[in-house]
């Protein structure tokens, strides 16, 4: 009986937290809209009025600027461009930019490899310095295991380490990353995606749950530092969900899952929150057609901002939210510069793209 009572209280706590978060989503402090994109930062720097006024975003989660293994020399090549985006972007209400750091790109060292991790931590210090110098809000830690398993202790690459030690080392690396970041940049903001705890503790929700068993240990390591700005958990499970009741159910279950499993539920409730993610455009990298109709996206977006206290975000699959001309591609690849998917970026967007922009524009203009 006590077990069920405790679970009931946690659910009530989750609902209360959700209600409290909703209270923060006021006109004076409504959630910012971020777009997670492979867009080239020189193009962004040249097209800020388009992104701010025509599209209606408040910021970017910028890919291909930094990885856990990026050298300081390579990282700081883009310092002036990112400074320009952050400084001039404010004129168009683009004031919430993040640097994406994908832990799953390449072969992240084993959590138990202290020597290799000392180098990784130094790289995170450089990323923090880069973010601070350029006036960037923070970083987005992408924990998707793209190349090798990260949080699955039964994976072959972890076979020589017992589960208890693996959990402790995963926690330690999260803690060390956060310590390195806040030492350099005390007010850095942290986003983490996807919602690994949600998948592991709710395997019926349709993902590879085993891939995220140790995710909560990594999160708890990050959160143990109690950084000033807390941690935002950005959801992917909501990408294609448009029904308001289904979105509310997922949001509540995520809150409940975090409260049940974080080491410090008070820190979660007081300083952390979720940011619902959406994927309305881009069926494939070479097909920018819509996945959701404009009306479905508007319905989804309206509920997402009601449930997300600080940020909502849109996944720009490939380059489905913009199109470069051949001249643009030539311009932004001069001098040996590289842009991701140059052939994809020249492809036309969905013919109704402005209907999707208008959802964000109208929200941005609303009081």
For residue 20, is pLDDT > 60?
no
Rounded Cα distance between 20 and 26, Å, is: 11
Closest by CA to 312, choosing from 191, 178, 184, 152, is: 191
Could you report the per-residue pLDDT of 81-100, keeping only the tens digit for each? 999 999 999 999 999 999 99
Taking residues 123-128, what's their average pLDDT?
A: 98
| Percent above pLDDT 70 for the chain | 92
Tens of pLDDT, residues 237-269: 999 999 999 999 999 999 999 999 999 999 999
pLDDT of residue 177: 98
- How far is residue 340's CA from residue 317's CA, in Å, rounded to a whole number? 12
pLDDT band, very low/low/confident/very high, at 160 (cuts 50, 70, 90)? confident
Average of pLDDT values for 126-155? Answer: 97
Rounded to an integer, the average pLDDT of 310-325 is 97
Average of pLDDT values for 34-52? 97
pTM comes to 0.92
pLDDT over 90 at 15, yes or no: no
Distance CA(287)–CA(314), nearest Å, equals 17
Least confident of 174-178, 208-212, 216-220: 208-212
What are the structural domains, with CATH classification, of the chain? Answer: 2-23+32-365 (3.20.20.150)
Neighbouring CB atoms inside 10 A of 260's CB total: 17
CA 225, 143, 67, 133 torsion-angle sign: negative
Six-digit token string for 68: 């856990």
Which 3-state string (H, E, C) describes the chain? Answer: CHHHHHHHHHHHHHHHHHHHHHHHCCHHHCCEEEEEECCCHHHHHHCHHHHHHHHCCCEEEEEEEECCCCCHHHHHHHHHHHHHHHHHHHHHCCCCCEEEEECCCCCCCCCCCHHHHHHHHHHHHHHHHHHHHHCCCEEEEECCCCCCCCCCCCCHHHCCCCHHHHHHHHHHHHHHHHHHHHHHCCCCEEEEECCHHHHHHCHHHCCCHHHHCCHHHHHHHHHCCCCCCCEEEECCCCCCCCCHHHHHHHHHHHHHHHHHHCCCHHHHHHHCEEECEECCECCECCECCECCCHHHHHHHHHHHHHHCCCEEEEECCCCCCCCCCHHHHHHHCHHHCCCCCHHHHCCCCCCCHHHHHHHHHHHHHCC
Q: What value does the CA radius of gyration of the chain take, rounded to a whole number of Å?
A: 20
Nearest-10 crossing angle of helices 294-307, 2-24: 110
Assign 67 a pLDDT band (cuts: 50, 70, 90): very high
User: Residue 234: beta bridge partners?
Assistant: 275
Predicted local distance difference test score (pLDDT) of residue 17: 45
pLDDT confidence of 22, banded at 50, 70, 90? very low
319 HSE (CA, 13 A, CB side): 21
Can you tell me the distance from the alpha carbon of 346 to that of 223, in angstroms, rounded to the nearest whole number? 41
pLDDT band at 206 (very low <50, low <70, confident <90, very high): confident
- Out of 2-16, 200-214, 270-284, the most confident range is 270-284
pLDDT reported for residue 28 = 55
What pLDDT shows up at residue 277?
98
For residues 143-158, give the mean pLDDT: 95
The mean pLDDT of the chain is 93
Mean pLDDT of 138-145: 97
Count CA atoms closer than 13 A to 244's CA, side-chain side: 8
CA dihedral 252→18→276→225, nearest 10 degrees, is -100
pLDDT for 26: 39
Mind listing the pLDDT tens digit for each residue in 322-359? 999 999 999 999 988 999 999 999 999 999 999 999 99
Q: How confident is the model at residue 208 (pLDDT cuts 50, 70, 90)?
A: confident
Mean per-residue pLDDT, 203-209: 86
């Amino acid at each position: 009986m006590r077990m069920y009572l405790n679970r009931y209280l946690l659910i009530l706590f989750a609902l209360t937290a959700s209600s409290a978060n909703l209270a923060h989503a006021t006109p004076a402090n409504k959630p910012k809209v971020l777009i997670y994109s492979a867009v080239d930062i020189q193009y962004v720097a040249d097209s800020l009025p388009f992104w701010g006024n025509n599209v209606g975003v408040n910021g970017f989660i910028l890919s291909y600027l930094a990885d856990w293994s990026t050298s300081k020399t390579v990282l700081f090549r883009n310092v002036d461009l990112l400074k320009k985006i952050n400084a001039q972007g404010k004129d168009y209400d683009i004031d919430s930019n993040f640097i994406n750091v994908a832990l799953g790109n390449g072969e992240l060292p084993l959590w138990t490899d202290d020597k290799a991790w000392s180098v990784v931590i130094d790289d995170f210090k450089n990323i923090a310095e880069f973010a601070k110098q350029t006036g960037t809000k923070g970083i987005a830690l992408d924990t998707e295991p793209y190349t090798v398993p990260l949080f699955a202790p039964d994976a072959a690459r972890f076979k020589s380490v017992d589960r208890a030690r693996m959990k402790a080392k995963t926690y330690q690396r999260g803690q060390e990353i956060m310590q390195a970041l806040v030492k350099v940049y005390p007010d850095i903001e942290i986003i983490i995606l996807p919602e690994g705890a949600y998948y592991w503790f709710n395997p019926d929700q349709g993902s590879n749950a085993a891939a995220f068993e140790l995710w909560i240990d990594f999160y708890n390591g990050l959160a143990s530092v109690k950084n000033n700005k807390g941690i935002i958990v950005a959801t992917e499970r909501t990408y294609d969900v448009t029904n308001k009741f289904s979105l509310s159910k997922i949001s509540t279950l995520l809150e409940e899952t975090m409260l049940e499993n974080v080491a410090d539920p008070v820190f979660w409730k007081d300083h952390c929150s979720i940011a619902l993610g959406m994927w309305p455009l881009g069926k494939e990298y070479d097909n920018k057609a819509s996945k959701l109709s404009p009306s479905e996206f508007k319905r989804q977006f309206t509920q997402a901002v009601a449930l997300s206290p600080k940020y909502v975000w849109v996944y720009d699959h490939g380059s489905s939210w913009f199109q470069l001309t051949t001249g643009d591609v030539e311009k932004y690849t001069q001098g040996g510069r590289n842009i991701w998917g140059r052939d994809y970026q020249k492809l036309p967007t969905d013919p109704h793209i402005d209907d999707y922009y208008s959802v964000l524009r109208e929200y941005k203009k609303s009081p």
